[in-house]
Structure 1
Amino acid sequence: MPGSPLHSPMALSTSPTSSMFKSKKRTATALGSPKTAASYLVEISEADARRLRANAPTATPALSLSSSITSDSEDPILRENDEYASARSALETPLRPPTSEQVFNTVHSEFGHCANEEYRSTSQHIPGTPLRHVVQEPPYYIVISTYISYLILICMGHIRDFVGKSFHTNSSRQLITRDGYAPLNSDFDSFYTRRLKKRMNECFGQPITGVAGRTVMLLDRYSPDYNTTQVFTGTRTRALNISSYNYLGFAQAKGGCADAVEESIRRYGVSSAGARLSGGSTDLHAQAEALVARFIGHEDALISSMGFATNSAYIPALVNKGCLVISDELNHASIRFGVRLSGANVRMFPHNDMVALENLLREVISQGQPKTHRPWKKILLIVEGLFSMEGTIVDLPRVMELKSKYKFYLWVDEAHSIGALGPHGRGVADYFGIDPRSIDILMGTFTKSFGAAGGYISGNKALIDRLRLRGYLGAYGEAMAPPVLMQIVSSMASIMGIAPPPLTSGSSTLRLSSTGGDAVAADPIHPGPAPQSLLPAWLTLDASLASGIEGRDRLRRLAFNSRYLHLGLKKLGFITYGIPESPIVPLLLFNPGKMNMFHRLMKEYSTPVVTVVVSYPACSLMTTRVRFCMSASHTKEDIDVVLRACDEIGDVLDLKHGLGRTERWAIDEVCERAVELAGRA
């Protein structure tokens, strides 16, 4: 209820009960008991009620890490007297100081220092391993209580709308015409936003400042009017960042890639100042496209300045009226939007159900176009490599079998899989060991694994040349900015490694390997390293980046972190979706009332953790979830913190509905057996 202090959306970072939670949370058995959980929630309610009656303080009391601010402006005396100074230092400095032999060129708060080779794994499909994801169902009382929660919210929302319109209260003034104008949005269209989403707005749009790396600095805020407005307290919170698409940890302010970007600004400025076909194309664009094509394994590639528009603007250039698009039911909104713009017919099949897909192919090929039954001009199957809300991966081997049998074109969206899956980081094709040239179109983005922005499409040269002219972005879209291009080139080159120039000796030419040893046979499917001719002549990367050693290490760290968190949560008893190698780990919450509480309790943990909670329309009403995004920048100790926080909060909020109690592991056992649980050489 909006008047209930228990459901008050104000931030807990200023609540005096935070220290109470942090002092008690180490006792897992106490937290797991209903009496302790209930008493804790009651104390939160009382504290929130007092907080609402009082004026907003100008500063947060130094009770916990959530009251910490940047080290530049922090009072050292407060730091010494802060009982949670050790927790703060754990985010800023490693728990295990590096030895004299270990040299790290990254800031620990941006990219965690970890030299333990045991905490490494490989992202690769094992032949014979089933891919079909079996959805675990929650107990009936969870399903019933979730439906009842939504029913109460919807009924109360309609009652408040009716009363508000009748008596013109403040809650409904936005629906009333003003100065003779009709409302831009009808009350029905905005009902979900006003009556449901607004009640949990604290979970969304959390403002940050600084680098979105391993940790992030949150701007503390609270709401005195139930999320109508948010008021900043003037304090900041250093939190463990497990919500950003920083899969390989390239979102850094310092390092070789950042230095290359800085140099590109000096040489090219900050904007191309035009579209690609209108004077906005530079040599950096050509070099980036050539490097992307080599990285993916296709003949050619084009890049665009926006990932969403890469799908929505280029799909209409390939299909139109008389064509058929077959789409997975969980495909991203950008794919759905592009198909609608194209005017092509569209048919959907159940998520990753290859039997249903084959039955659909037989039907549409035999029946042809509606009414006329003429053959389709072309059939295009669009799937995602790694589904962003489920953490599941497309059954690409089976799709390729159907492709050779039924002769359709294939478009694979690798926005979340490129750079994150496969032993070489080449995406879903690399994960399964499939030649990428057998896939007609590979699309992806640079916003996730490469720490940049924009997207790409790769394919054969004839197709890409057509898309350059027929796609909307080529003629109308702003060309990608040079600093963004440089981030793409430097990060991608560090993953591939850079080939040294050939040494000529007499009539023979000897090419050394990137590590300076003997010549290494190139992978025929995923060639590498990148030749110097594809890179700017002035680009100089650190030895660890140019050799590809650091890039491979990031891939292996990401694989271990993803497997460890995913399998650790399952062993603790949570319901999760997806494959273990997926950097996206959804944890099911179900009940909408648990969204705010989970977000707040994670942020109020002794080491604050910032999370992303996902609700309708990004997922169904019944499958509300928190989506963890893993990164190579996280250390094993960071994931220990997340698992311990989830274990304790899961007991408080009753979230453990997965494995039976006899099959579960204790949290200490999960942390101690991490290498056994997640390691894969």
Structure 2
Amino acid sequence: MLWFLLNIQMRTTKVSRCLNLGSYNYLGFAAADEYCTPRVIQCLKKYFASTCSSRADGGTTTLHSELEEAVANFIGKPAALVTGMGYVTNSAILPVLIGKGGLIISDSLNHNSIVNGARGSGATIRVFQHNTPSHLEDVLREHIAHGQPRTHRPWKKIMVVVEGIYSMEGEICKLPEIVSICKKYKAYVYLDEAHSIGAIGKTGRGVCELLGVDTADVDIMMGTFTKSFGSCGGYIAGSKELIQYLKYTCPAHLYATSISPPAAQQIISAIKVITGEDGSSRGAQKLAQIRDNSNYFRSELLKMGFEVLGDNDSPIMPIMLYNPGKIPAFSRECLKRNVAVVMVGFPASPLLLSRTRICISAAHTREDMVKALEVISTVGDMVGIKYFPAEPSKSELEENRLKVE
């Protein structure tokens, strides 16, 4: 079961044991694991909690090199660079990859770390309509034709930035179409897989595997370890030349403290479980479980009459509230029934597009999900967010059939 103790010290001393529907713990590795945990404890004894140094100074151990090799192999790229924080991976690396005279074309719903990284780069920034390849092509064509502002010189570099799964929408990127357009116009593709790596794809290798895209066609692949791997930090994967360049220029590598050795060991161990290198089939079982759990939970919510965003296989499913006044009501009524949910309102979403964001894990049992669905259904009726007619149950269909006969 995926439960946790919730204690809001600022307002109450009450402690509640709640079913957690807000965690990014997609594969359940954030809890004690029979393979990962003993190795993390052993690593803690050997390397201690922190290197207390940046990667460029004394913060690179054999463990960090092993992690980067494991990540590159898992992602399907020649090389990788890991950082101690996922947010910084985008915000610190984008300014190193592109600068003044360059053009960043970003999905309109990209994460704040991408937005800040793009702004800090000095490049010209344009957005295209969320997950709409046809509009991306229009933006590319227009800006290639006009060139740089004022001088109209050709752009030094053009980079298209997208996410694998959009964290506030639960939608999977239309990557094949976007890659095809970027090839046509000779633009670089930067893919943020924070929520898709480890969570989707037959072997957990993310959106490229799910949609049949060759990783060689994606120039820069970014991801984090805070979701599917139960750890912290982030990575950039790409060509050997790109990674070598980043090691000389990226501030997250040169100045920030390196990823904690036990956290690095957790990631290495989790990858081995996912790929079956631990000698078991638990990784495959976890991947099948999160896919089944996600699709089951989404289908049940839709049957109840909720408006649910996102795609099948995505473990993120936003339930639309729209009215911002319903945010505290939905959250508190769920909490009263020992179900903890994440509410999203302005400025994280537009004022009239408030939602609750459900995150499903492989660690959720069917019993957990049935309880959660019962609570969400009850509270949904209370606050009035079932915007569509509920599908009749099998018993109701049978009863109606008998009446007709």
TM-score range, shorter chain: over 0.9
Corresponding residue number in structure 2 for 1:648: 378
Deviation at 1:253, TM superposition (A): 2.8
How far apart, CA to CA, are the structure 1 residues paired with 2:77 and 2:51? 26
2:139 is equivalent to residue 360 of structure 1: yes
Question: Which of 552, 556, 559 matches 2:288?
Answer: 556
Please tell me whether the aligned partners of residues 382 and 412 of structure 1 are also in contact (alpha carbons under 8 angstroms).
yes
Q: Deviations over 1:131-161 (max 9, x none)?
A: xxxxxxxxxxxxxxxxxxxxxxxxxxxxxxx
Residue 367 (structure 2) pairs with residue 637 (structure 1) = yes
CA distance in 1, matches of 2:288, 2:71: 21
Query: What's the CA shift for 1:637?
Result: 1.6
Instruction: Tell me how far apart the structure 1 counterparts of residues 353 and 99 of structure 2 sit (CA, whole Å).
Output: 34
579, 589, 593: which is aligned to 2:311? Answer: 579
For residue 349 of structure 2, the aligned residue among 619, 628, 633 is 619
Match of 1:58 in 2: none
Matched AA of 2:249: R
Which deviations, in whole Å up to 9, do the C-alpha atoms of 1:172-198 show, x marking residues without a partner?
xxxxxxxxxxxxxxxxxxxxxxxxxxx
> Partners in 2 of 1:475 and 1:648 — Cα distance?
52
1:273–1:280: 8 Å Cα contact kept in structure 2?
A: yes
**2:11 aligned to 222, 231, 253, which one?**
231
* Amino acid in structure 2 at the alignment position of 1:360: V
Residue of structure 2 in register with 1:511 after alignment: none
1:325 alignment partner AA: I
Distance 1:613 1:594 in 2: 10
Counterpart secondary structure, 1:232:
coil
1:406-425 alignment, distance < 5 Å: 406-425=185-204
The alpha-carbon deviation at position 231 of structure 1 amounts to: 3.2
Q: Aligned equivalents of 1:562 and 1:405: distance in 2?
A: 35
Tell me which of 324, 329, 336 is aligned to 1:597: 329
TM-aligned CA deviation for residue 219 of structure 1: 1.6
Given that 1:261 and 1:486 are in contact with CA atoms closer than 8 Å, whether structure 2 keeps it comes out as yes
Runs of 4+, deviation exceeding 2 Å: 230-233, 665-670
Alignment of 1:336-485 (within 5 A): 336-485=115-264
Counterpart code for 2:284 = R
Aligned-CA RMSD value? 1.5
The residue type equivalent to 2:356 in the other structure is: V
Superposed, 1:106-255 pairs within 5 Å as 112=1, 214-219=2-7, 230-233=10-13, 235-255=14-34
The alignment partner of 2:293 has SS state of helix
CA contact (8 A) 2:276 2:282 kept: no
User: SS in structure 2 opposite 1:317?
Assistant: helix
Q: Which residue identity is paired with 2:305?
A: G
CA drift at 1:403: 1.9
After TM superposition, list the pairs within 5 Å mapping 1:540-551 onto structure 2. 546-551=278-283
Amino acid at match of 1:623: L
- Distance change (3 Å), C-alpha of 1:668 and 1:271: farther
Letter in 1 for 2:323: N
Contact kept in structure 2, 1:275 and 1:478, CA below 8 Å:
yes
- The answer on whether the counterparts of 1:495 and 1:548 sit within 8 Å (CA) in structure 2 is no
Instruction: Give the corresponding residue for 1:565.
Output: 297
Amino acid at match of 2:11: V
Q: Give how far 1:435 is off.
A: 1.4
Deviations 1:274-299 (A, max 9, x none): 00111111000000000000000000
Change (3 A) 1:278 1:247: same
In 2, the alpha carbon distance for the partners of 1:669 and 1:557 equals 30
* SS at structure 1 position matched to 2:98: coil
SS at match of 1:621: coil
| Alpha-carbon offset, residue 642 of structure 1 | 1.4
Matched, 1:263 2:51: no
| Offset at residue 220 of structure 1 (A) | 5.6
Given that residues 647 and 667 in structure 1 are in contact (C-alpha distance below 8 angstroms), is that contact kept between their aligned partners in structure 2? no
Alpha-carbon distance between aligned partners in 2 of 1:442 and 1:274, rounded to the nearest angstrom: 26
Asked which structure has the greater RCO (Cα within 8 Å, sep 6+), the reply is 2
Change (3 A) 1:490 1:285: same
Shift of 1:547: 2.3
Call closer, same or farther: CA 1:220–1:444 in 2, change over 3 Å. closer
Percent identical across equivalent pairs?
A: 44
Contact 2:160–2:190 under 8 Å retained in 1: yes
Structure 1 Cα separation of the partners of residues 316 and 24 of structure 2: 9
Query: What is the rounded CA distance, in whole Å, between the counterparts of 1:617 and 1:456 in structure 2?
Result: 27
Post-superposition offset of 1:232: 2.9
Q: Which moved more, 1:436-445 or 1:590-599?
A: 590-599
Correspondence for 1:298: 77
Cα distance, 1:255 vs. partner?
2.2
Give the conservation status (yes or no) of the 8 Å contact 1:411–1:441: yes
- Equivalent residue letter for 2:296: Y
Q: 1:495 aligns with which of 253, 267, 274?
A: 274
Task: Tell me if structure 2 keeps the 8 A contact 1:250–1:450.
Answer: yes
1:665 to 392, 395, 405: 392
Which amino acid counterpart does residue 94 of structure 2 have in structure 1? I
Shift of 1:434: 1.5
Query: Residues of 2 paired with 1:479 and 1:611: CA distance?
Result: 32
- Supply the distance in 2 between the matched residues of 1:309 and 1:548 (Cα, whole angstroms): 34
- 1-structure distance, mates of 2:219, 2:12: 50
SS of the residue corresponding to residue 382 of structure 1 reads strand
Deviations 1:460-517 (A, max 9, x none): 100110011111111111011110000000001111122xxxxxxxxxxxxxxxxxxx
Conserved? CA contact 1:220–1:237, under 8 Å: no
User: How high is the TM-score relative to the length of structure 2?
Assistant: 0.95
Q: Distance in 2 between matches of 1:303 and 1:367?
A: 37
Deviation at residue 548 of structure 1 after TM alignment: 4.5
| Distance in 2, Cα, partners of 1:640 & 1:668 | 18
1:665 deviation in Å? 3.4
Contact 1:572 1:667 in 2 (8 A): no
CA distance in 2, matches of 1:325, 1:271: 35
Q: Deviations over 1:601-632 (max 9, x none)?
A: 11122xx1111101111110011110011000
Pick closer, same or farther for the CA change 1:420–1:459 going to 2, 3 Å.
same
CA distance in 1 between partners of 2:114 and 2:394 (Å): 40
Give the residue type in structure 2 aligned to 1:395.
K
TM-score by length of 1: 0.57
Q: Distance in 1 between matches of 2:392 and 2:381?
A: 14
Q: Distance in 1 between matches of 2:301 and 2:394?
A: 10
